Amino acid sequence: MWDSYTTESTAAGMLTIPVGPDLTESRRIYVRVPAGSLSASKESLRFILRAEDGTVVEHDSHFDGPAKNNPKVMP
């Protein structure tokens, strides 16, 4: 995964995004998985956000892959 301030060439399994106290940060997060590794056209995904003070927030989302058996999707 990578964010809107970086490029896919810097993709990693974990991102560190510095945010100051009492501030918010908005970024688009991109996720890519190897072709053929999805068991369905939609997979569950969980983002775990950890603050320096140890606070943890989790957010469930999903990854939309190409539709299975769709002749318009290139392998």
Q: What is the mean pLDDT of residues 14-30?
A: 89
Number of domains in the chain: 1
pLDDT at 65: 75
SS3 of the chain:
CEECCCCHHHCCCCCCCCCCCCCCCCCCEECCCCCCCCCCCEEEEEEEEECCCCCEEEEEEEEECCCCCCCCCCC
In a domain, 73, yes or no: no
pLDDT at 42: 80
pLDDT at 67: 64
In a domain, 75, yes or no: no
In a domain, 70, yes or no: no
Greatest mean pLDDT among 39-43, 57-61, 67-71:
57-61
Could you tell me the residue range of the domain that residue 7 belongs to? 2-64
Confidence of residue 3 (pLDDT cuts 50, 70, 90): very high
Average pLDDT, the chain: 83
| pTM, entire model | 0.66
